[in-house]
Amino acid sequence: MLFEKIKTIICDYFELSEDEVTPETTFAEIGADSLDMVDLAMSLEDDFSVEVTDDTLETFVSVADVVKFLEVAL
């Protein structure tokens, strides 16, 4: 499932446990700054072979936003 793969990426990067990340989890809640978000975008690009533009990256408020983007992009 797409959410599970994204959750794994986020948990690994932010050193979170699996139960700390839900679709509703916001990046503000986990303390992500702009550099963290750029790193996340690069991980998504590598893992899913998609391009995450700066404009798209700005729309990522929650984990669900990333899932929705990838559902359309893939």
Give the chain's mean pLDDT: 96
12, 33, 39, 47: which is the annotated catalytic residue?
33
Q: Which domain holds residue 12?
A: 2-73
Residue 33 annotated in active site: yes
Which pTM was predicted?
Answer: 0.93
SS3 43: helix
Domain CATH number, residue 8: 1.10.1200.10
User: How does DSSP classify residue 26?
Assistant: B
Q: How many domains does the chain have?
A: 1
Q: pLDDT (tens digit, 9 = 90+) per residue, 25-54?
A: 999 999 999 999 999 999 999 999 999 999
Question: 39 is written with which tokens?
Answer: 């790193």
SS3 22: coil
Phi, psi of 4 (to 5 degrees): -60, -40
Q: How large is the C-alpha radius of gyration of the chain?
A: 11
